[in-house]
Structure 1
Amino acid sequence: MSKNSTYNPPMKMITLGDSGVGKTCILSRFVNGVFDNKIVATTGVDAFSKKVTVDQITYSVQVYDTMGQEKFRSGIDSYYRGCNGALFVYDITMPSSFKAVEEWVNTMKQKGDATTSFVLVGNKEDLATNRMVSIEEGQELAKKIGCPYIECSALTGTKIEDIFTTLIRDAAPNMEKADAQLKKLRVSISQTKTTSEGSSCC
């Protein structure tokens, strides 16, 4: 793809993680540039959209913000499919949310696409003095999953842009490859149809 261009198909992403880890706050900071401390727990699936320029290419990013409560999880199954990127978010002051990440990853792998790119996110870096999950633990889990690891703070905005830039860079090649294959398939179908029509008898 040429530089200084716009990529037309939307890049679809999903945030996954336990309730209370700050997924919605991260998205509010990313899309609106603000921290909203009045945000309530998501009970459905919300969608956030933003145009993001990475390496001189502008992408239309659509992020699905999912609920983390156990009782609502079956309601997000259909959102796993077709995602180009997934953010697995935990709270560095909440060990249980860190332990739950692997379950979220396994679910994404089972119900999503094999080409989906991942980023592991440790949120609430501003509460580092209350940290209960070390940086090393986060790095080790990211290595196990096979994805980048970034700690951020939705409150201060630290590393929020880095999260999405990293995920877009990782997801873009697979997305472009899939689109190229789809276009090739459409051309092949069109040519086959034209040949078939041309050889038919009256």
Structure 2
Amino acid sequence: MAGYRAEDEYDYLFKLVLIGDSGVGKSNLLSRFTRNEFNLESKSTIGVEFATKSLKIDGKVIKAQIWDTAGQERYRAITSAYYRGAVGALLVYDVTRHTTFENVMRWLKELRDHTDPNIVLMLIGNKSDLRHLVAVSTDDGKALAERESLYFMETSALEATNVESAFTELLTQIYRIVSKRAVEAGVEGAASAIPSKGQTINVKDDVSAWKKIGCCSR
């Protein structure tokens, strides 16, 4: 077919959001994952930005649409539209700035106020390459994640450490919830349970299954 582009073909579309204090590296995490780029001179951008990337999970093509707050967090003016339809979120803090870790609970509250209570969440301690400046220990990050039933990973957008793993882990967990729901619907109901191509998935009560297992600290 003329004009056909392979990246337009996917089985599921999942919306993810990036939240956290200004300057923790959200935009660089996004650019590292979607374009394998990092910009030392990156500045806060105004307005909402998003990028997409497709990957294969269990033979299915998953397209992630990842939204970045793009500077709004400085004004605490993130709207409910930003969160609408999100099935996963990466809550990012800077391991070298303890205040960004202290603000995690405020971001978590805002996230839970604006999204389905069972959204799949991952806590990200970014800038792990700056080891000599670390102000938040890995154990503290893990402890908070376990207490709040979050997945947890430390990343470095600069060195590309765990960036791919963090996004892939989050998307894999979301996909497993959705596919499990389709299986539980049974053979007769499977057609209606499996969303049509390109449909955005809203994860509901199915997330409780992994919460019972506990978070995946790394």
1:132 aligns with 2:152: no
Amino acid at match of 1:145: E
In 2, Cα distance between equivalents of 1:41 and 1:76: 18
Shift of 1:44: 1.6
In 1, Cα distance between equivalents of 2:127 and 2:172: 24
The structure where strand makes up a greater share of residues is 1
Other structure's SS at 2:161 match: coil
Shift of 1:115: 2.7
1:164 aligns with 2:167: yes
* Higher RCO structure, 1 or 2 (CA under 8 Å, sep 6+): 2
In 1, Cα distance between equivalents of 2:92 and 2:74: 19
Query: Aligned in 2, Cα 1:71/1:154: closer, same or farther, shift over 3 Å?
Result: closer
Out of 14, 17, 28, which is 2:17 matched to?
A: 14
In 2, Cα distance between equivalents of 1:92 and 1:80: 25
Per-residue displacement from partner, 1:161-202 (whole Å, max 9, x unpaired)?
110111012212344438x79936x9xxxxxxxxxxxxxxxx
Partner of 2:29: 26
1:112 aligns with 2:115: yes
Amino acid at match of 2:94: D
In 1, Cα distance between equivalents of 2:146 and 2:103: 16
In 2, Cα distance between equivalents of 1:70 and 1:41: 10
Amino acid at match of 1:74: A
1:155 aligns with 2:146: no
Q: Equivalences for 1:26-175 in 2 at 5 Å?
A: 26-67=29-70, 70=73, 72-175=75-178
Gaps of 5+ in 1: 1-5, 187-202
In 1, Cα distance between equivalents of 2:116 and 2:146: 20
Contact persistence 2:11–2:60 (CA under 8 A): no
Other structure's SS at 2:129 match: helix
Q: How many residues align?
A: 179
Partner of 1:200: none
Shift of 1:70: 4.8
Other structure's SS at 1:13 match: strand
Shift of 1:54: 2.5
In 2, Cα distance between equivalents of 1:120 and 1:93: 15
- The CA RMSD measured in Å over matched residues stands at 2.2
Shift of 1:42: 2.8
The structure where helix makes up a greater share of residues is 1
Q: TM-score, normalised by structure 2?
A: 0.75
In 1, Cα distance between equivalents of 2:31 and 2:14: 18
Partner of 2:192: 183
Contact persistence 1:18–1:69 (CA under 8 A): no
Q: Percent identity?
A: 35
Amino acid at match of 2:128: E
In 1, Cα distance between equivalents of 2:78 and 2:124: 23
Gaps of 5+ in 2: 1-8, 196-218
**Range 74-83 or range 85-94, more displaced:** 74-83
Larger of the two Rg values belongs to structure: 1
Shift of 1:68: 5.2
Per-residue displacement from partner, 1:95-137 (whole Å, max 9, x unpaired)?
0100111111111111111231000000001001110000110
